[in-house]
Amino acid sequence: MTVPDTLDTDELHDKRQAVVDTGVAMLEQGLTKGTGGNVSGRVGDEYVAVSPSGIPYEEIESGDVPLVDLDASVVDGELDPSAETPMHTAVYRQRDDVGGIIHTHSPYASTFASLSEPIEASHYLIAYAGDKVPVAPYETYGTEELGAVAADTLGEAYNACLLENHGVLTVGETIEGAFETALMVEYCARIHYQARAIGEPTILPDEEVDRLVDRFAGYRTH
């Protein structure tokens, strides 16, 4: 297998390196354990650089990161791509605005995923994701069915969703943007959990969250 001639090799190298760096950052920030979770970035219009399967993040080098097409078929690389690659490519096929995807097992957000309960707008930073973090119904990991429900739950309105009994999926214009949203989702999940442990959190009204979503969209493009 060789890199398609149409690809910018510098862009491919940069995306592969971003996948490597972000995987390590997920561990450092407590968003996953072991080899759990995965990272991908769109390369050009038709390809995706995605974490290899089952390799400790600290051991991955940029050349180890597989390149797949939007049907999840490997076009370059010696290692198998993440088992969750079909979920990533399902989202890329649906959302032209997405350039990076992060899948985490972050503990507070995954707690709400296990409850099959959305993370509501008890903190204004929820606007990184949308008016809440919705829940995609359970499907077995690594399946096309999981990709379909994740993409459907994100739709066009959300930059994050919970995967029932599983974890979290976040998207962004870049890998870095998706990672930032993953951090904010976990933070909001922790605040929501803690607030509920003490009492009943106040949920921001829809019109205020809509205003925040618009403001954050403008802020993050500058």
Work out the number of other CB atoms within 10 angstroms of the CB of residue 178: 25
Query: How far apart, in whole angstroms, are the C-alpha atoms of residue 222 and residue 218?
Result: 7
CA 76, 79, 80, 85 torsion-angle sign? negative
- Assess whether 164 carries a catalytic annotation: no
Exposed e or buried b for every residue in 29-39, given b needs 16+ CB within 10 A? eebbeebebbb
- Where do the DSSP E strands lie in 17-159? 38-43, 47-50, 67-69, 74-76, 100-104, 135-136
Marked catalytic residue, from 59, 84, 145, 207: 84
Catalytic residues, by residue number, are: 84
